Structures are given as structure tokens and as C-alpha cells.
Amino acid sequence: MSLLVHTYVRGASGTRYFLDDPDDNLAGFEKSRTKLWGSQAARDLGARFFPQLAASDLYVEPEDARAFLAECDLLGDHLAELGEHSGYGADYVQARLANIREAAVRAVDVGGGVIVW
């Protein structure tokens, strides 16, 4: 199984409407939930959104999208460390994080949110 990232906006009734995201929406393998995004290494860097993936899907509400984007940038400054800790390697982490970051940028641009599931 794979983790995917999607962006959404909320309608007037609060319903989520998914945007047309690019085809490359891979956020990692299912094991990335614990080995990478929810790892102690990510927590030690100060991540607060990504570690939620260790226990559940991640729902970033529109009001948190800018903070989530900042967290993407924070983790992006530590690709080698995260790659080494997870065993995936820095290139893998960079590629998956790039997809997630791009979704966060789209969310900020339209006042939407991000789901990683």
C-alpha cells in the first residue's frame, strides 16, 4: 500500500472538495508512516503534523496549511538525516517530501487543506 497526498477546499456546508492534483501524489510507502514521517527523528526536529501519520491519516485544515508548509521546509533541511534514520535514503525522502510540499503550496494558494492517507 502507498501513502498519497491530496489537496482540498471546503464548500459552504463544510464538505471537502478535492482539487485536481498532479498524478505524482505519492507520499511514501505505508511503512513510511512510522519509519519516516512518524519517526523519532522527525519528532526530534520539531515536526508536529507529520508524526500524526504514525497513528492515523493526516488531515491539515486550511487554517493550518501555512504551518504545515513551514514544517515541510523544516524537514527538507534534514533530508540526509531523515533518509539515514528511515533507511530510505535522502533521494527517496526528497522526492516524497517534494510531492507533499507541492500539495501544501497548492493548499495555501487556494485557502485549502491537505490530506495524507
Pair 10, 62: CB distance under 8 Å: yes
The mean pLDDT of 80-92, rounded to a whole number, is 98
Tell me the three state secondary structure of residue 73.
helix
| pLDDT of amino acid 85 | 97
Give the pLDDT of residue 104: 99
> Is residue 116 very low, low, confident or very high in pLDDT (cuts 50, 70, 90)?
very high
CA distance 99 to 43: 20
CA distance 31 to 67: 25
% pLDDT > 70, the chain? 100
pTM metric for this prediction: 0.96
> What are the structural domain ranges in the chain?
2-116
- 6-33 in b/e form (b: 16+ CB < 10 A) is bbbeeeeeeeeeeeebeeebebbeeebb
